[in-house]
Amino acid sequence: MRASELIGAPVLDTDGTRCSYVIDLRAGGDDGDLVVDGLVIGRHHWRMFGYEHREEEGPALMRRIIEMLHRHTRYVPWGDFEIDDRAVRLRRDWDDLPPLRSLRE
Amino acid sequence: MSTWQGREIVDLLTDIIDREIVDPEGVPLGRVDDLELRSRDDGRTEVVALLTGTVALEPRLPRWALTLIRASARLTGGPDDPRRIPIEAITKVDTVVSITAAAAAAAASPSEERLKRKIIGRIPGADHASE
């Protein structure tokens, strides 16, 4: 599989309605390997800017603007979705997913 | 928490894809156009390689751009298969992705080599004639 097959893919809520798109793949280290932990999904196709990471603090105004743009962005851990014919099908309701911001607190 | 290249969180599109790939001397080799993923036995998915080259970029391009890209690739004797750089070859990730010398040699662009040989090399003075 390639990352491009997931990035931009439609995300379907548990009732089958399209609720968002895959914006990014969030990964982390695992004994030297780079392992995908989950997906960043959002109502829009807007890319992230890098300031969404706690270690990459940007100018306060820029952070505010980006947080506003991504207020409908969510994080869904690997295992809480399945990949079905180039679409991502959530196993948890969109409303139950944590906002991206809460992961940095 | 375990880290990778000193980072706890790596957003693949934001932090790796579209970044320039450079060799240990800082010479650019191309951009990260896509990433190859593999399912592990434990059910998790890992990144195994960087992919670079116009063919690797195609899935993310709009249709109108594909026509232009393919036409320009044909002019240089392509399109070529994506060049694959194992994830282990990455030595550093910041504003660029640095890779080892061995991986850089293996990832040299075939179309760039053809361009140098067939066109640039025929220009008088191209072979360091002034030295």
User: B13-52, pLDDT tens digit by residue?
Assistant: 999 999 999 999 999 999 999 999 999 998 899 999 999 9
Report how many domains make up chain B.
1
**By mean pLDDT, which of B60-64, B87-91, B111-115 is the weakest?**
B111-115
Are B11 and A49 a contacting pair at CB < 8 A? no
Q: How many CB atoms lie within 10 A of CB B110?
A: 15
User: A1-31, pLDDT tens digit by residue?
Assistant: 999 999 999 999 999 888 899 999 999 999 8
State residue A105's pLDDT score.
39
Q: Has residue B7 been placed in a domain?
A: no
Q: Has residue B23 been placed in a domain?
A: yes
Are B60 and A7 a contacting pair at CB < 8 A? yes
- Across chain A, mean pLDDT equals 84
State residue B10's pLDDT score.
92
DSSP state of B128: T
| Closest B-chain CA to A78 | B44
ipTM for this prediction = 0.83
Of A31, A53, A78, the CB nearest to B9: A53
Tell me the residue range of the domain where B74 lies: 12-122
Task: Pick from B2, B3, B10, B97 the residue to mutate for testing the A interface (most A CBs within 10 Å).
Answer: B10
A41, A22 contact by CB (below 8 A)? yes
Element (H, E) at A69: helix A60-69
Are B60 and A4 a contacting pair at CB < 8 A? yes
Distance (Å) from the alpha carbon of B30 to chain A's nearest alpha carbon: 18
CA–CA dist A21, A23 (Å, integer): 6
Give the CATH architecture of domain A3-47+73-94. Roll (2.30)
CA–CA dist A34, B90 (Å, integer): 11
Q: Has residue B4 been placed in a domain?
A: no
Pick from B79, B76, B97: nearest CA to B88: B97
Query: What is the average per-residue pLDDT within A67-81?
Result: 87
Q: Residue B27's domain is classified under what CATH number?
A: 2.30.30.240
State residue B126's pLDDT score.
73
State residue B92's pLDDT score.
94
State residue B112's pLDDT score.
72
